[in-house]
Structure 1
Amino acid sequence: MAIPVQTFFLHPGATGTLQARIQQMVAEGVLSGRLRRGEKMPSTRALARHLGVSRLTVALAYTELLASDYLTSRQRSGHFISENAPAPAGFPPAARQERVDWARAIGQRFAGGAVPERPQDWASYRYPFIYGQTDPQLFDHASWRLCAVQALGARDFRAMTQDYYDRDDPELVEFITRQTLPRRGISARPEEVLITLGAQNALWLAAQVLLTPERTAALEDPGYPALRAILAQTRCRIAPVAVDAQGLPPEAIPDGTGVIFTAPSHQCPTSATLPMARREALLARARALDAIVVEDDYEFEMAYLTPALPALKSLDPDGRVVHVGSFSKSLFPGLRLGYLVGSEPFIREARALRAAVFRHPPGHVQRTAAHFLRLGHHDSLVRRIGRALTERRAVMEAEIARAGLTIAGVGAHGGSSFWMMAPPGIDTGALAETLRADSVLIEPGAPFFLRPDPPRGHYRLGYTSIPTDRIGPGITRIAEALARARGRG
Structure 2
Amino acid sequence: MAIPVETFYLNPDGQGTLQAQIQQMIAAGILSGRFRVGEKLPSSRKLARHLGVSRITVTLAYTELLANDYLVSRGRSGYFVSENAPIPPTYDPPAATEDNVDWSRALARSFTGGDTPRKPADWHSFRFPFIYGQADPTLFDHANWRLCALRALGQRDFASMTGDYYDEDDPLLVEFIARNTLPRRGITARPTEILITLGAQNALWLTAQILLNRRRKAAIEDPCYYSLRDLLMQARCPLTPVAVDADGLPPAAIPDDTDVIFTTPSHQSPTTATMPLDRRRALLDRAREIDALIIEDDYEFEMAFLGAPSPALKSLDRDGRVIYIGSFSKSLFPGLRLGYLVGSEAFIREARALRASVLRHPPGHIQRTAAYFLSLGHYDAQIRRMASVLHRRRRTIEKAIEEHGLTVAGRGVYGGSSLWMQAPPGSDTARLAEILRERSVLIEPGAPFFAGEDRPTHFYRLGYSSIPSSRIPEGIHRIAQALAS
Q: Shared fold (TM-score greater than 0.5)?
A: yes
Residues 429-468 of structure 1: matches in 2 within 5 Å? Answer: 429-468=430-469
Q: Which residue of 2 aligns with 1:103?
A: 104
Q: Which residue of 1 aligns with 2:22?
A: none
Distance (whole Å) between structure 1 residues aligned to residue 290 and residue 465 of structure 2:
39
Are 1:200 and 2:201 an aligned pair? yes
Q: Which residue of 1 aligns with 2:118?
A: 117
Residues 382-397 of structure 1: matches in 2 within 5 Å? Answer: 382-397=383-398
Q: Which residue of 1 aligns with 2:311?
A: 310
| Amino acid in structure 1 at the alignment position of 2:467 | I
SS for the counterpart of 1:181 is helix
Are 1:344 and 2:345 an aligned pair? yes
Q: Which residue of 2 aligns with 1:296?
A: 297
Contact 2:39 2:80 in 1 (8 A): no
Distance (whole Å) between structure 1 residues aligned to residue 113 and residue 100 of structure 2:
23
Number of matched residues?
417
Contact 1:117 1:443 in 2 (8 A): no
SS for the counterpart of 1:137 is helix
Q: Which residue of 2 aligns with 1:222?
A: 223
The 1:143–1:93 alpha-carbon spacing in structure 2 relative to 1, beyond 3 Å, is same
Residue 36 of structure 1 deviates from its aligned partner by 3.4
Q: Deviations over 1:287-317 (max 9, x none)?
A: 0010000000120001110101111111000
Q: Which residue of 2 aligns with 1:159?
A: 160
| Amino acid in structure 1 at the alignment position of 2:439 | D
Q: Deviations over 1:194-248 (max 9, x none)?
A: 0000001001101111112111100001000111121112211101000111111
**C-alpha RMSD over aligned residues:** 2.3
Distance (whole Å) between structure 1 residues aligned to residue 328 and residue 395 of structure 2:
25
Distance (whole Å) between structure 2 residues aligned to residue 272 and residue 117 of structure 1:
25
Q: Which residue of 2 aligns with 1:37?
A: 42
The 1:38–1:266 alpha-carbon spacing in structure 2 relative to 1, beyond 3 Å, is same
Q: Deviations over 1:298-357 (max 9, x none)?
A: 200011101011111110000000000001110000000000000000000000000000
Q: Which residue of 1 aligns with 2:480?
A: 479
Are 1:361 and 2:366 an aligned pair? no
The 1:98–1:380 alpha-carbon spacing in structure 2 relative to 1, beyond 3 Å, is same
SS for the counterpart of 1:220 is strand
Q: Which residue of 2 aligns with 1:417?
A: 418
Q: Which residue of 2 aligns with 1:149?
A: 150
Are 1:130 and 2:131 an aligned pair? yes
Residues 366-385 of structure 1: matches in 2 within 5 Å? Answer: 366-385=367-386
Contact 2:173 2:371 in 1 (8 A): yes
Residues 5-24 of structure 1: matches in 2 within 5 Å? Answer: none
Residue 118 of structure 1 deviates from its aligned partner by 2.1
SS for the counterpart of 1:239 is strand
Q: Which residue of 2 aligns with 1:4?
A: none
Residue 31 of structure 1 deviates from its aligned partner by 9.1
Contact 1:30 1:36 in 2 (8 A): no
Unaligned runs of 5+ in 2: 1-29, 45-71, 82-92
Q: Which residue of 2 aligns with 1:322?
A: 323
| Amino acid in structure 2 at the alignment position of 1:114 | D
Q: Which moved more, 1:449-458 or 1:189-198?
A: 449-458
Distance (whole Å) between structure 1 residues aligned to residue 305 and residue 77 of structure 2:
58
Contact 2:192 2:345 in 1 (8 A): yes
Q: Which residue of 1 aligns with 2:246?
A: 245
Contact 2:148 2:373 in 1 (8 A): yes
The 1:304–1:95 alpha-carbon spacing in structure 2 relative to 1, beyond 3 Å, is closer
| Amino acid in structure 1 at the alignment position of 2:42 | R
SS for the counterpart of 2:240 is strand
Contact 1:440 1:474 in 2 (8 A): yes
Residue 29 of structure 1 deviates from its aligned partner by 4.0
Structure of larger gyration radius? 2
| Amino acid in structure 2 at the alignment position of 1:318 | D
Q: Deviations over 1:107-166 (max 9, x none)?
A: 111100222332111100000000011111110000100000000111100011100000
SS for the counterpart of 1:257 is coil
Distance (whole Å) between structure 1 residues aligned to residue 179 and residue 161 of structure 2:
22
SS for the counterpart of 1:188 is coil
Distance (whole Å) between structure 2 residues aligned to residue 165 and residue 78 of structure 1:
47
Contact 1:37 1:81 in 2 (8 A): no
SS for the counterpart of 2:271 is coil
Contact 2:41 2:78 in 1 (8 A): no
Q: Which residue of 1 aligns with 2:214?
A: 213
TM-score by length of 1: 0.82
SS for the counterpart of 1:472 is helix
Distance (whole Å) between structure 2 residues aligned to residue 146 and residue 73 of structure 1:
42
| Amino acid in structure 2 at the alignment position of 1:319 | G
Residue 424 of structure 1 deviates from its aligned partner by 1.6
Distance (whole Å) between structure 2 residues aligned to residue 350 and residue 215 of structure 1:
18
| Amino acid in structure 2 at the alignment position of 1:146 | L
TM-score by length of 2: 0.83
SS for the counterpart of 2:138 is coil
The 1:32–1:312 alpha-carbon spacing in structure 2 relative to 1, beyond 3 Å, is farther
Q: Which residue of 2 aligns with 1:85?
A: none
Distance (whole Å) between structure 1 residues aligned to residue 199 and residue 130 of structure 2:
23
Q: Which moved more, 1:307-316 or 1:116-125?
A: 116-125
Distance (whole Å) between structure 2 residues aligned to residue 384 and residue 120 of structure 1:
26
Q: Which moved more, 1:449-458 or 1:278-287?
A: 449-458
